[in-house]
Amino acid sequence: MKKVNIFLSINFIFTWGVAFWLMSNGGYQNPLAKIVLMVCMIIPAISAILTSFITKENIKDLWIKPNFRNNKKFYLIAWFLPAILIVLGAGVYYLVFPSHFDLSMSTFIKLTQDQMVAMGQRAPSVEELKSLLIMQIIIGVLLAPILNFIACLGEELGWRGFLLPMLNEKYSYLKSTIKSGVIWGIWHAPMIAMGHNYGLGYFGAPWGGILAMIVFCVVVSAFLSYMTFKTKSCIPAVLSHGMINGFASFSTIFIAVPRVNPFIGPSPVGILGGVGFIIVGIICLIKINKMDKEMEEISI
């Protein structure tokens, strides 16, 4: 556990240090916010590499080799399943709240136009924005994992490429998955405290949002960890993470009301918006637990 403790110390000290600097300097209103968040996303990978140097471990032991040849199905799942789950969750949300659904995207388009005018920019026409949104959806499905690859590799090399196998040296597959998911969720705490994903105008802020993010991370971690264990590579997790980050906004472009409860949906971090991830996460936890039982039978 020495390697795990070193990794977590470096990771949390630097990530939370950078995040708290941003928090004390305007939060997400700071013009450098996007750059700061990008820096935070690569800190887990840097922490894993530094830990390997400190403990004199071979960097080649990090689970970064693609192992593509015998794992093509996992790469297809990694690429496309998150998009399907995001669409599924949004569909469930809008079925439960049909008055929130606007197929014309007029509410979202009007909000976008108003924001651009407020920034002193020319607001595109409704048709221009519709065409742009449709193009973004297509690009998201086809290219989001690639466009977000570097940033998500920064996270996943740390979480699934280093922490998960290190935990698995001491704990079962199931415990390693859950522990890494909880840690991953806690790591996001300063970002959630600044309003990421859930905003700030809710009862119990930011603690309710932090708790919800931990649950979401455990659920998603089950899916990502299962693929990582099966392929012995963090690359499928990188692709899925990239799709989630790049395509999650799909669920919000059809909103017909100015405000929704993010803890419910339609974003995948809500309980209805995330129903697909919850189902897949439970299935993966069952499969991971089965892997533990198979290992126990082998060791007998």
SS3 state at 180: helix
- Which of 64, 61, 65, 67 lies closest to 3, judged by CA? 61
- C-beta separation of 254 from 101 below 8 A: yes
Q: How far apart are CA 256 and CA 58, in angstroms?
A: 53
- Comparison of pLDDT for 300 and 292, the residue scoring more: 292
Q: How far apart are CA 162 and CA 51, in angstroms?
A: 10
Residue 300: pLDDT band (50, 70, 90) is low
- C-beta separation of 219 from 281 below 8 A: yes
| pLDDT given for residue 60 in this prediction | 78
- Which of 84, 289, 99 lies closest to 178, judged by CA? 289
| pLDDT given for residue 194 in this prediction | 96
In this prediction, what percent of the chain has a pLDDT beyond 70?
99
Q: Which residues contact residue 162 at a Cβ distance below 8 angstroms, ignoring those fewer than 6 apart?
A: 7, 44, 48, 51, 52, 62, 63
Q: How far apart are CA 225 and CA 240, in angstroms?
A: 11
Does the pLDDT at position 195 exceed 70? Answer: yes
Q: How far apart are CA 131 and CA 109, in angstroms?
A: 11
In this prediction, what percent of the chain has a pLDDT beyond 90?
76
Single pTM value for the model: 0.93
| pLDDT given for residue 272 in this prediction | 98
| pLDDT given for residue 121 in this prediction | 73
Single-letter amino acid code for the residue at 93: Y
Does the pLDDT at position 296 exceed 80? Answer: no
Q: Which of 72-86, 110-124, 192-206, 284-298 has the highest mean pLDDT?
A: 72-86
Q: How far apart are CA 210 and CA 189, in angstroms?
A: 6
- Which of 249, 250, 248, 225 lies closest to 236, judged by CA? 225
Does the pLDDT at position 136 exceed 70? Answer: yes
| pLDDT given for residue 125 in this prediction | 76
For residue 68, the 8-state DSSP code is -
Q: What are the structural domain ranges in the chain?
A: 67-299
| pLDDT given for residue 182 in this prediction | 98
Residue 177: pLDDT band (50, 70, 90) is very high
Average pLDDT, the chain: 93
Q: How far apart are CA 81 and CA 237, in angstroms?
A: 12
pLDDT, tens digit (0-9, with 9 covering 90-100), for 209-241: 999 999 999 999 999 999 999 999 999 999 999
Q: Does residue 98 have a cis bond before it (omega within 30 degrees)?
A: no
Q: Give the mean model confidence (pLDDT) for residues 253-271.
A: 93
pLDDT, tens digit (0-9, with 9 covering 90-100), for 10-58: 999 999 999 999 999 999 999 999 999 999 999 999 999 999 999 988 8
E strand or H helix at 33, and its extent?
helix 33-54
